[in-house]
Structure 1
Amino acid sequence: MALHTPLPPNVRKGLTNFSGSLFINNKTGDCAAAQTYHPGHEVLSSLPLQMLLYFNVFYFPFWCLSEGLMLELKYSLLLLYYKFLLVAAFLTLTLAEGLRLYLGYIGNLQEKVPELAGFLLLSFLIQLPTLLFILTDEHIIRLPLETAVHIIYLMFLLSEIAAAFFALKAMTKHLTRQFYLRQFEGPDGL
């Protein structure tokens, strides 16, 4: 028995279409873009990776604000080339982090291997070396808040790299198995 709603059907349909366009992953039955899972479908999304990404999204603005403030405080005390390097590192980390988190969300929730691989490559090849440079260079004036914020960010980054590696490994293994099983299907898909 369906639940009675006081909304007229055309208003309800309009609200459903609007919410379906806002929330891409809407899996309710009344949405036309509902994703259906077959009874034998194995969900490959990684819960630990998704939790790390979720908390990283909330931590990123705090990191960005504190790093910007710390950079402003020590900017006049730095040598000219360290000024350039730190501003470039801050901009690289900030811009790459937005793209990295987006790719992580899409790759994990929608089980897309290329996006998750892009997330892993951005994390490993851009974010990690830049963050390690900021944390280990002895000529950079490190303030206590900056060090604490960067260490927490490094822990997020290392945990996400490990979780994404295992999630990507599971997804590719499953897709490879699916590919080989489809070779034995007949032309009618049975």
Structure 2
Amino acid sequence: MEMPDTMRRRLEDFSRNVLFDQSRTQAITKENDTFLPYVSDKRVLSGLHLQMSLYFNMWFFPLWWISETIMLHLKYPALPDYYKFILVTVLILMTLIEAIRLFLGYAGNLQEKVPELAGFWLLSILLQFPLILFLLFNEAILIQPLERAVHIVLALFILSQALSGFVALRDMVRHTESQFHLRQFH
């Protein structure tokens, strides 16, 4: 399953303009002041920490979902109507976002695709992390001990993935740019 071209271009532009600092371009490798011919660099750029975190998150998320659904069912009668609507909406949104986010994380990291990894990172930072913080710190939603425990674990997963995803994304963008510069001189 491929991303639409317009979305891919927007994510490429974002990663090129925001995540990559133009002033810190890497110099092309020189040997005795002559350019080396283009050599295909087959380094693995996938982040091991990111991949491990994604793997464990993939197995943990169903447990989180079941726990959250059971706790919501138990406390539903005691909640005000507006919190009932908000919590059901947040649960549905987080489920959809998490499925998309994990897919983009896997595709971007394992296949070393910058747009997918940038999409994963943006979903983590802009949507999933604020939602889990809302569920973790809003005492008006009658947080139960089991909920607090699974929210803390999911928040730690999302935070660690955001940090390691940024590092992996930065490395992939730098490598892609250096390969682009090497191809220009070949």
Q: TM class by shorter-chain length?
A: 0.7 to 0.9
Higher relative contact order (CA 8 A, sep 6+): 2
Letter in 1 for 2:79: L
Residue 64 of structure 2 corresponds to: 63
In 2, the alpha carbon distance for the partners of 1:81 and 1:124 equals: 26
Task: Give the distance between the partners of 1:40 and 1:182, measured in 2 at CA.
Answer: 12
Q: Report the equivalent of 1:144.
A: 145
**What is the deviation of 1:184?**
0.4
Offset from partner CA, 1:47-97 (integer Å, 9 cap, x none): 110000000010011001000000000011000000011111111111110
Q: Tell me how far apart the structure 2 counterparts of residues 129 and 155 of structure 1 sit (CA, whole Å).
A: 13
Aligned to 1:93: 94
Give the Cα–Cα distance (whole angstroms) in 2 for the partners of residues 135 and 48 of structure 1: 25
The percent of aligned pairs where both chains have the same amino acid is 55
Q: Matches of residues 20-169 of structure 1 in structure 2 within 5 Å?
A: 40-169=41-170
Alpha-carbon separation, structure 2, partners of 1:104 and 1:96 = 12
Aligned Cα root-mean-square deviation (Å)? 1.1
Deviation at 1:39, TM superposition (A): 6.9
3-state SS of 2:185 partner: coil
Question: TM-score, structure 2 length as denominator?
Answer: 0.78
- C-alpha distance in structure 2 between counterparts of 1:128 and 1:49, whole Å: 16
Q: TM-score, normalised by structure 1?
A: 0.76
Q: Deviations over 1:102-129 (max 9, x none)?
A: 0000000000000000000011111011
Instruction: State the distance in 1 between where 2:139 and 2:72 align.
Output: 16
Report the equivalent of 1:3: none
Runs of 4+ in 1 over 6 A off after TM superposition: none
**SS of match in other structure, 1:139:** helix
Q: Aligned letter for 1:64?
A: W
- What is the distance in 2 between the residues matched to 1:138 and 1:129? 15
- The residue matched to 2:64 in structure 1 has which SS? helix
CA change 1:178–1:39 in 2 (3 A) is: closer
Task: Give a deviation string over 1:136-175, Cα, whole Å, max 9, x none.
Answer: 1121100000000000000001000000000000000000
The residue type equivalent to 1:67 in the other structure is E
Q: Secondary structure of the residue that 2:140 maps to in structure 1?
A: coil
Number of residue pairs the alignment of both structures matches? 148
**Alpha-carbon distance in 2 for matches of 1:58, 1:138:** 27
